């Protein structure tokens, strides 16, 4: 058995999601190969070769891979798919865009957002917003899998010495073209990679009130997040959203401020190592998953916390 991991990268470096996916691939048994499809992406391929557990890196380098268009990358995956028993990608927007195309062309059933590998053909994945875990066994010759990265540790970035093989790049499919990208710049850590997250909910009352959380996030070196209710109310941007329809996170510390704890939000953060909840409603569902809870007015409690942190 040999597993192929589709690397998520920006041509210069790998995304952290790739490291978690490699861990999942290794647990499937057999060797792990990594496909880097990009433009001038030799640096990303070199990083992949150093990851512990990787035995080979395939580099497909062409200008039409520069922006990771799913139509092109999927065709590249299909060009090499015959050699693999498992094909995996992170369950990010990148992986979710590519692998369904691959699964359809291979005429197999995709297994989505796995959180555990029980055996080479059996996997666990959350269903019903994380309220139940489904055990899925696949009889397909090729297992096409997206990996919920919070379910697996990150593979060590060093310690490997894989060979890098440059393979022929497939042609441009011509089915899509890159138009533009808007990037939100922030000095704070990226939400999905942050070790500490401070999130606000509808209880904040307004976008202006989120400034109350900034000193706390600054003291802790934390990323800032929000519930869907806060995003839908226009308090903060969409890319702050944590939850089933937002970003799935599992930091070492998650501080939920003014968040009631709707099931959709809990699905996105309940795997956090330590959860602290601040809410004036003692019956708020968030307290059912919190390790520490503070009942009271957030506008009094948060400044007190900042003061205690010095």
What φ, ψ does residue 278 adopt, rounded to 5°? -125, 115
Could you read off the pLDDT of 98-144 as tens digits, one per residue?
999 999 999 999 999 999 999 999 999 999 878 899 999 999 999 99
In a domain, 11, yes or no: yes
Could you read off the pLDDT of 139-179 as tens digits, one per residue?
999 999 999 998 999 999 999 889 999 999 999 998 898 89
CB-CB contact of 142 with 3 (8 Å): no
In a domain, 174, yes or no: no
Residue 268 sits in a domain whose CATH number is 3.40.50.1220
Instruction: Let me know whether 210 and 279 are in one domain.
Output: yes
Quick one: tokens of 288?
A: 């059912």
For residues 52 and 292, what is the distance between their CA atoms, to the nearest angstrom? Answer: 36
Query: Which residues are part of a known binding site?
Result: 202, 227-228, 241-245, 258-265, 279
Could you read off the pLDDT of 64-93 as tens digits, one per residue?
999 999 999 999 999 999 999 999 999 999
Instruction: Let me know whether 210 and 291 are in one domain.
Output: yes
In a domain, 184, yes or no: no
Instruction: Let me know whether 98 and 214 are in one domain.
Output: no
Instruction: Let me know whether 162 and 197 are in one domain.
Output: no
Its pTM stands at 0.86
In a domain, 66, yes or no: yes
Q: For residue 43, what pLDDT is reported?
A: 96
Domains identified in the chain, total number? 2
Query: Which residues are part of a known binding site for FAD?
Result: 202, 227-228, 241-245, 258-265, 279
Instruction: Let me know whether 74 and 220 are in one domain.
Output: no
In a domain, 185, yes or no: no
CB-CB contact of 250 with 196 (8 Å): no
Instruction: Let me know whether 65 and 130 are in one domain.
Output: yes
In a domain, 177, yes or no: no
CB-CB contact of 14 with 47 (8 Å): yes
Report which of 143, 288, 310 is spatially closest to residue 216, judged by C-alpha positions.
Answer: 310
Residue 232 domain boundaries? 191-308
In a domain, 240, yes or no: yes
């Amino acid at each position: 058995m040999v597993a192929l991991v589709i690397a998520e990268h920006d041509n210069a470096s790998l995304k952290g999601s790739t490291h978690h996916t490699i861990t999942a691939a290794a647990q499937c048994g057999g060797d792990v190969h990594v496909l880097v499809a990009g433009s001038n992406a030799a640096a990303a391929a070199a990083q992949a070769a150093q990851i512990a557990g990787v035995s080979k890196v395939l580099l497909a380098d062409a200008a039409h891979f520069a922006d990771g268009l799913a139509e092109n990358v999927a065709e590249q995956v299909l060009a090499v798919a015959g050699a693999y028993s498992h094909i995996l990608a992170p369950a990010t927007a990148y992986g979710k865009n590519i692998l369904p195309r691959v699964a359809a062309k291979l005429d197999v059933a995709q297994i989505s957002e796995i959180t555990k590998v029980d055996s080479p053909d059996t996997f666990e994945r959350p269903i019903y917003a994380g309220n139940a875990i489904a055990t899925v066994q696949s009889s397909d010759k090729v297992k096409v899998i997206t990996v919920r990265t919070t379910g697996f540790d990150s593979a060590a970035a060093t310690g490997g010495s894989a060979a890098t093989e440059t393979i022929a790049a497939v042609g441009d499919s011509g089915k899509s073209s890159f138009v533009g990208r808007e990037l939100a710049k922030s000095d704070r850590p990226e939400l999905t990679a942050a070790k500490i997250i401070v999130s606000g909910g509808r209880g904040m009352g307004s976008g202006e009130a989120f400034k109350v959380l900034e000193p706390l996030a600054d003291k802790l070196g934390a990323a800032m997040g929000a519930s869907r209710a806060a995003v839908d109310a226009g308090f903060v941007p969409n890319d702050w959203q944590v939850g089933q329809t937002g970003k799935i996170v599992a930091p070492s510390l998650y501080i939920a401020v003014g968040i009631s704890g709707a099931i959709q939000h809990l699905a996105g953060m309940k795997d956090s190592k330590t959860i602290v909840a601040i809410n004036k409603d003692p019956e708020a569902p968030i307290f059912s998953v919190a390790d520490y809870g503070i009942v009271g007015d957030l506008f009094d409690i948060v400044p007190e916390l900042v003061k205690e942190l010095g």
